[in-house]
Structure 1
Amino acid sequence: MEKEVTESAPNEPSKDEHHLARSTAKSVCLVLTTTCAMILNISSSSVTTALPAIGRDFNVQEDQLQWIVSAFSLSSGCLLIVFGRLADLHGRKKAFLLGVFWLGLFSLACGFTKSVIALDILRALQGLGPAATIPASIGILAHAFPPSRARSLAFATFSVGAPIGGAVGLQIGGVLTEFAPASWRATFFLGAGLASLCFIGGCFTIDADPPSKEEDRRVDWIGATLVTTGLVLITFVLGQGELAPQGWKTPYIVALLILGVICIGVFIWWQHYLEHAEGHQRPPLMKLSMWSRSNGKFAVMQLIAFLELAGFISFAFWAQLYYQDYVHLSPVGGALRMLPMLVTGVACNFIVALFIGRLDVVVLIVIGTVFTGIACLLFAVINPASIYWAFGFPAAITSVIGADFVYASGTLFIAMISLPHEQSLAGGLFQTLTQLGTAFGLAITTIVHNRVLRREAAKLGYDTAHSLQDAPAPAQLKSYRAAQWTAFAFPIFGAILAVIFLRGVGIVGHKTPSKKAVDVESSSTNHGQGDYARNFVELEKNVGVAGVSEKH
């Protein structure tokens, strides 16, 4: 990573104060600090493998443990847009440091909790940390590195943190739960320690927040309330619909789903009103015109990320259950079979950094989504009698490629077409879609799994009024295969969307800083307009800017 790529052009006055000169070592530490924040995904995935031990410790049934995972996902996933906007307005460094401090504090509290109800509440509070940290990290990297090979490297490294965090979390959760003296509590103590490292790193490596240049810094709290309420209700319904007493026909599930959709609909109308209203109305939380930028490719990229994460997380979830509940491996044994995901994730970081400045983004996304689809396909036709190397190993190797490629390409593309003052908001929106994709994918594959399991168990004479966990093995195998077939459809649909709608985007990474962009930046007379002009030059070169312009 060369030092000069983080500086303004030589012999030109800096018009963008956030592109400060920094040493190579400080640049590397900055990227590692933000990546560590992404790796803190172990706060979610590590707990999944620890649930049986938590249930034994608190003497509660398995169906009472779901909120330990769901509470964290709800709070962390549904506040990304709001916290992204607040980070843009009040400072990304502040948001990052407060987020990791909050996450570490409540991780520690989770480790000392004495009841499952208290753990549920603390997990919900813990999730507020990543909701603040992740959007801020995206904005920090976008402002620290101008379009250059350094930016491509930074975002590629940051992007690999999510799948690595998920994969590492599964391994660490199983190992600590089985071997650590503190059992499942050790996973929370580890999370608190990593959060502390992120906090210390952030204090020394993240540049001071430049003052916001927005004239109106009022927050659209009505919009924030509407979108957060709608996302919470929809995410809750997706997670609970199959577990409710009457399934999706349960009255409160239907009511909450309708209410959630209404909240999102009213939010969209309210944002449209604020964006086009004249007078002294406060600025919208999210300009709807963002979705139509570069001829709607912004929206398509978000949808592809939604579908990719729906497939990737569903694959990992059902593969882990297959190993533990069908093959009857221990949590550590199942986690070890998923270990190649970690190795591939690290390798993908170097691959993305090497090729994202050379290959069309469509190529990267299609390759990634197809590889994730292959992983799902291998488990959709898996033969339990075959050796691990025939199905399990290649699936673990290929599954994470899509998540890495789509995440890196998506975040770079979003940063390229977003205005300087909305980088964290755009990043938060991207993260929100991936969270919703995760919830949607698990909900749909769970529906398919349960329907197939009941049908096949009934064919074999099993009384489905009893627990389906004891259903005949052939019925269980068919249900796992059906879930993976469903997961297979998500990334493949994403690949089709990329081929049809992302043609012309071109390369979103950079080999070297764009001289033309720097020239445009140096001619700008307004602070912050340099990034805007540079993004437009890059976008015009690769995509075309129809529908991107807006008041600034």
Structure 2
Amino acid sequence: MDLTTGQPVRYSTAAGRWVLLATVLGSSLAFIDSTVVNIALPEIGRDLGADAAGLQWTVNGYALSLASLVLLGGSLGDRYGRKRIFLLGVAWFALASLLCGFSPNIETLIFARILQGIGGALLTPGALAILEASFTSEDRGKAIGAWSGLGGIGGALGPFLGGWLVDIGDWRYIFLINVPLAAIVIWVGAKHVPESRNPAAARNIDVVGVLTGALGLAGLTYGFTAWPMDGPGSPVVLVSLAVGVASLVAFVMYERRAAHPMLPVRIFANKAFSGANLVTFVVYAANGGVFFLFVINLQVVSGYSPLASGIALLPTTALMLVLSARAGGLSQRIGPRIPMTVGPVICAVALVLMSRIGPGANYWTDVLPSVIIFGLGLSTLVAPLTATALGALEDSYAGIASGVNNAVARAAGLLAVAVLPLAAGLGGGSLTDAAQLEPVYRNTMMICAGLMVAGAVLAFLLVPTRLPAHPPARTFCDPGSTPAQPQVPERVA
């Protein structure tokens, strides 16, 4: 929406560029911390004396709170204002980053990462919901494609920035750098992003839904993370997995009956929405495994420095920057099914090649070809997938649609980090020992390639050629910072 007219903006206008800039910068905070920490894991392990489980929880603590609460973040944005919740999340994220940067031990770092995830859960769905509510329907594919490409810069520049900071100074700088970036986001967002919300959204918070959903993900994640060290018959593992499954079942049952659910289960009756989120779960589980182990393997097995392993994925970033907006526009013209089917297949080819990266790997012949192919696959896939997940529902559900899709993606990555090393044969081994990591990495890349192929099959079967048209949006948009309240006429004397 334009600040002066209150009308949806075009992708090419100045108002559209400001909205895009604010959402990209904000999302990049979360994207950067989803990737940059992986670069620093070996240094964090050595500095804080952390074992494999501690390093997994450094990643999973952030992903767990983000995945558990991102639905709540989308729901709060629909209720109280997407801009308001977005900026609150950015500020929260910055404060948690300070705590990460000054953590004296691995336990404090994990706790601070959990707090970071809460901030990410507030800001991430708000960014996409703001785009969905602000741009004209014919420009949303381009806007989301540009957001994917530009946001991908943050995700892939994160390892480069992290590697450079670790090389020249200390792993703590990778968290402290978030503070000035957050300040810029808050200034741009407060000045240039209009407020929007769903006036029909309930004002109360679904406490039972929040607790059961979070407990379900926490139980599954803790159980799978403890499995390699404690064994499958351990009471801790069995109880954690049982609590996780029972809580998720309770979550679904309660949401079906609740008067004002955090997650309206009826939205999954929409085949395009359900299909897009199922594809999201499968392909982002693969991405979670790739981004967790790829840079660690380059350092531990192939002998790359943190900086060299950080810049290894820059070609993927460059391709997403150049191609994502075009892929979004193409998807709007020909429909999402073809890009969402072809993209994962291209990624699968790249991951088979990545599985061959071992000791003494040469970047130009062993690493770069797979990275380029992977970038082509993600560029083809991500924008159409995101646009389908948001565009399948009416615009008034922009917040919850974004929240669901982000929750699915984060939960997939979260479970991938916990489960894939176990499935690949890590057992009680170490992620910083080359002999133990090499076969685990190779097996994980092949499993992830299989997941990508499964995603392509699901997209072909479940995603429609064209998304249905929706009635006019019922989303309220106000040029001011705070959602306006209905004005009550004064009583005439």
Same fold? TM cut 0.5: yes
Matched, 1:123 2:113: yes
Contact 1:81/1:428, CA 8 A, preserved across alignment: yes
Alignment size in residue pairs: 475
Distance (whole Å) between structure 2 residues aligned to residue 29 and residue 468 of structure 1: 42
Q: 1:271 aligns with which of 249, 255, 258?
A: 255
Distance (whole Å) between structure 2 residues aligned to residue 385 and residue 189 of structure 1: 33
Distance 1:216 1:483, change over 3 A: closer
1:331 is matched with 306
Q: 2:195 aligns with which of 204, 208, 228?
A: 208
Distance 1:52 1:378, change over 3 A: closer
Contact 1:29/1:205, CA 8 A, preserved across alignment: yes
Residue 37 of structure 1: CA displacement? 1.8
- Superposed, 1:414-433 pairs within 5 Å as 414-433=389-408
Residue 251 of structure 1: CA displacement? 1.6
Question: What SS does structure 2 have at the residue aligned with 1:283?
Answer: coil
Question: What SS does structure 2 have at the residue aligned with 1:113?
Answer: coil
2:457 is matched with 496
Contact 1:348/1:404, CA 8 A, preserved across alignment: yes
1:45 is matched with 35
1:286 is matched with 263
1:178 is matched with 167
Distance (whole Å) between structure 2 residues aligned to residue 59 and residue 377 of structure 1: 33
Contact 1:308/1:403, CA 8 A, preserved across alignment: no
Q: 1:218 aligns with which of 204, 207, 223?
A: 204
**What is the letter of the counterpart of residue 267 of structure 1?**
F
Distance 1:436 1:62, change over 3 A: closer
Contact 1:415/1:423, CA 8 A, preserved across alignment: yes
Question: What SS does structure 2 have at the residue aligned with 1:390?
Answer: helix
Contact 1:49/1:173, CA 8 A, preserved across alignment: yes
Q: 1:448 aligns with which of 414, 417, 423?
A: 423
2:488 is matched with none
Contact 2:272/2:388, CA 8 A, preserved across alignment: no
Q: 1:137 aligns with which of 119, 124, 127?
A: 127
Q: Deviations over 1:376-419 (max 9, x none)?
A: 11123457677433331121112234444433222222332323
Distance (whole Å) between structure 2 residues aligned to residue 318 and residue 469 of structure 1: 11
Distance (whole Å) between structure 1 residues aligned to residue 167 and residue 79 of structure 2: 45
Contact 2:157/2:317, CA 8 A, preserved across alignment: yes
Distance (whole Å) between structure 2 residues aligned to residue 185 and residue 215 of structure 1: 41
1:3 is matched with none
Q: Deviations over 1:215-253 (max 9, x none)?
A: 743332222221122122223334x1444322x332211
Question: What SS does structure 2 have at the residue aligned with 1:244?
Answer: helix
Distance (whole Å) between structure 2 residues aligned to residue 403 and residue 234 of structure 1: 28
2:237 is matched with 253
Question: What SS does structure 1 have at the residue aligned with 2:297?
Answer: helix
Contact 1:235/1:436, CA 8 A, preserved across alignment: no
1:229 is matched with 215
Distance (whole Å) between structure 2 residues aligned to residue 125 and residue 242 of structure 1: 25
Matched, 1:187 2:174: yes
**What is the letter of the counterpart of residue 249 of structure 1?**
G
Question: What SS does structure 2 have at the residue aligned with 1:505?
Answer: coil
Contact 1:371/1:402, CA 8 A, preserved across alignment: yes
Contact 2:289/2:420, CA 8 A, preserved across alignment: yes
Distance (whole Å) between structure 2 residues aligned to residue 305 and residue 110 of structure 1: 29
Contact 1:242/1:443, CA 8 A, preserved across alignment: no
Higher alpha-carbon deviation: 372-381 or 407-416: 407-416
Question: What SS does structure 2 have at the residue aligned with 1:209?
Answer: strand
**What is the letter of the counterpart of residue 292 of structure 2?**
F
Distance (whole Å) between structure 2 residues aligned to residue 339 and residue 443 of structure 1: 26
Q: Deviations over 1:128-174 (max 9, x none)?
A: 111001111121111111211x2222111222355433321111111
Distance (whole Å) between structure 2 residues aligned to residue 227 and residue 241 of structure 1: 20
Instruction: Compare CA radii of gyration and give the structure with the larger one.
Output: 1
Q: Deviations over 1:424-476 (max 9, x none)?
A: 1111110111112212333443123326xx8xxxxxxxxxx98796575xx76
2:95 is matched with 105
1:24 is matched with 13
Residue 349 of structure 1: CA displacement? 2.4
Task: Show structure 2 runs of 5+ residues with no match.
Answer: 478-493
Higher alpha-carbon deviation: 45-54 or 488-497: 45-54
**What is the letter of the counterpart of residue 74 of structure 2?**
G
Contact 1:349/1:404, CA 8 A, preserved across alignment: yes
Contact 1:163/1:404, CA 8 A, preserved across alignment: no
Question: What SS does structure 2 have at the residue aligned with 1:79?
Answer: helix
Residue 185 of structure 1: CA displacement? 1.8
Matched, 1:374 2:360: no
1:537 is matched with none
2:272 is matched with 297
Higher alpha-carbon deviation: 43-52 or 191-200: 43-52
Matched, 1:347 2:333: no
If the length of structure 1 is used for normalisation, what is the TM-score?
0.78
Q: 2:368 aligns with which of 389, 393, 400?
A: 393
Distance 1:215 1:75, change over 3 A: closer
Question: What SS does structure 2 have at the residue aligned with 1:357?
Answer: helix
Contact 1:107/1:192, CA 8 A, preserved across alignment: yes
Distance 1:327 1:286, change over 3 A: same
Residue 62 of structure 1: CA displacement? 5.6
**What is the letter of the counterpart of residue 205 of structure 1?**
H
Higher alpha-carbon deviation: 400-409 or 430-439: 400-409
Task: Show structure 1 runs of 5+ residues with no match.
Answer: 1-5, 8-13, 275-281, 455-464, 509-513, 531-552
Q: Deviations over 1:343-397 (max 9, x none)?
A: 2221222432442332321111122101110111112345767743333112111
Contact 2:145/2:329, CA 8 A, preserved across alignment: no
Distance 1:157 1:242, change over 3 A: farther
Distance (whole Å) between structure 2 residues aligned to residue 67 and residue 321 of structure 1: 15
Residue 80 of structure 1: CA displacement? 0.5
Distance 1:57 1:314, change over 3 A: closer
Question: What SS does structure 2 have at the residue aligned with 1:127?
Answer: helix
Higher relative CO (Cα under 8 Å, sequence separation at least 6) belongs to: 2
Contact 1:74/1:236, CA 8 A, preserved across alignment: no
2:229 is matched with 244
Matched, 1:313 2:313: no
Q: Deviations over 1:100-131 (max 9, x none)?
A: 01111221232233343322222211211110
**What is the letter of the counterpart of residue 257 of structure 2?**
Y
Distance 1:18 1:243, change over 3 A: farther
Distance (whole Å) between structure 1 residues aligned to residue 421 and residue 348 of structure 2: 18
Distance (whole Å) between structure 1 residues aligned to residue 57 and residue 429 of structure 2: 23
Output the aligned Cα RMSD: 3.0
1:153 is matched with 142
Contact 1:42/1:191, CA 8 A, preserved across alignment: no
**What is the letter of the counterpart of residue 241 of structure 2?**
L
Distance 1:479 1:138, change over 3 A: closer
Distance (whole Å) between structure 1 residues aligned to residue 105 and residue 360 of structure 2: 42
